[in-house]
Structures are given as C-alpha cells and as structure tokens.
Amino acid sequence: MKKVFKAAVTAFGCLFTLFYIICCLKSNFNLGCAIVLIFGFIITGWYLVPDNRFFRILKTIIAFGSIIYISVALFIFFNSRAHMPDYKEDAVIVLGCGVRKTTPSIDLRLRLDKAADYYDKNPDCVICVSGGQGPQEDIAEAEAMSAYLIQKGIPEYKIIEESESASTYENFLFSKSILDNFFGKTEYRIVYITNDFHSYRAGLIARKNGFTQISAYPSQTGAYMLIPNYMREVLAVFYAWVFY
C-alpha cells in the first residue's frame, strides 16, 4: 500500500508539472508559473530522493514553508471582497495585466467584463484603464483594454487611458494624477477592479497612493491560472507588508 501511495504522489507530481508547462505555453510566463513548476518538481521528487538525514531535514523545512505559504494564500482569498461598492463611485480603475500581442488575456478579459457590468449599474462613472506595454505585448495594456470595452458598448468618451505604468503601484500613482486633473480635485470615490487574488494587495497600494474613498469589485480568476496567480501573490503581499 505504501508503494502504491508513493507511486500515486509521484505520478500526480508529473501530471501537475506537465499541466502547468502547457499552461505556460498558453499564457504569458510569470513568477507564479515558475513557483508552481517548482512545487510540481518537489512533489514529483518527494519520494524519489534518498531517505537520509539531509533530505529529511529539507522535507521538514519545505513542509513548514508550504503551510505558511498556503495560509497566506487563504488569507488573501478571504479578504479579496472587503469594501464592496455601492454603485455611486465617481470613477472605476481597471488594473491591467497580460496582453497576448494585442488581445487581452483571460484574466484581463474577466476584469474588463466586470468593469462593463459595473458601468451598467452606474453609467455616471468614468473608467480609467491602467497598464503600460510589457515585453511580451505588441501594444500598451490600456490600449487593448479600451478597445475591448468599446466593443462591449462602453462609450469612448467615458474611458480614460493610463498607458505608462509597469506595476500595481504605478497603476494607482499615475491613475490618481490623471483623475485628479480630470475631476479638478483630489477627493473623489473610486472602485478598483482586479482579479480576486490581487484585490487585497491592490487596496493596500491604493491607500498608499492617496486614495481614501475606495471600494473593490474583484473579478474571478481563470481556473487554470488560479494556483500560479495566488502563489505569486503571496510573495507580493509579503513585500507589501514590509514596505507599504
């Protein structure tokens, strides 16, 4: 029975790793994908490495670290929907993420669909799409986002593009500068839209950049990228707790 269990764990590790190698080929490769692949290799080799003192200590460290890692991921998950909107906000900020050449990724389309849904409930708002051009992208994320929303029926004059940012911090920093000029004041209500795995940290960063009246309207995460995104986000939250 023990041999069967070990074989099953090893087989699961191989399939898990293979699955995410395929996912990496379908999506922009990022740190989350790398972390998941590392976990996959660890699971695959868990019972293949020699059973000596060094590897027993190493396994204990890995197991303890994994418990902490998963605990923080669950904390992020359960805090992703705090401060929901009342549909009276002045502006929506949609945070950018991967674009495949000129096409929004699955996660980005989910964010934009959520923005369109919010606009249907509050057509008085303006929508600020925020995201610059990444190394695997042919155009700025904001440009791709704007085109997608226009196709969804959002009037072009209701969309504001912020196309210089390269991080979540810059998303909020540059968007606030644009919106301050647009409204002619520094105090107004915003709702930010990002995927649920990113929502908690985005709130921390929004406050760091001077937004005081904020709500979150998170979208779901594409199923096959759920684990990589939460794995990457754990490291980002650790960084935010230390430096924000």
pLDDT digits 0-9 by tens, 112-148:
999 999 999 999 999 999 999 877 778 889 999 999 9
Inform me whether the pLDDT recorded for 82 exceeds 90: no
What's the rounded Cα separation, in Å, for the pair 210 and 201?
A: 15
Distances (CA, A) of 163 to 27, 95, 97, 239: 21, 11, 12, 25
What's the rounded Cα separation, in Å, for the pair 110 and 112?
A: 5
Least Cα distance to 234 among 63, 38, 68 occurs for 68
The maximal CA–CA distance of the chain, rounded, in angstroms, is: 71
Phi and psi at residue 195, in whole multiples of 5°?
A: -70, 155
pLDDT digits 0-9 by tens, 213-237:
999 999 988 777 778 888 889 999 9
Strand segments, DSSP code E, in 88-201 are 91-95, 99-100, 103-104, 126-130, 159-162, 189-193
Q: What is the pLDDT of residue 112?
A: 96
Least confident of 20-34, 121-135, 167-181, 210-224: 20-34
What's the rounded Cα separation, in Å, for the pair 90 and 141?
A: 23
Sign of the torsion formed by the C-alpha atoms of 234, 206, 27 and 115: positive
Least Cα distance to 117 among 197, 207, 191 occurs for 191
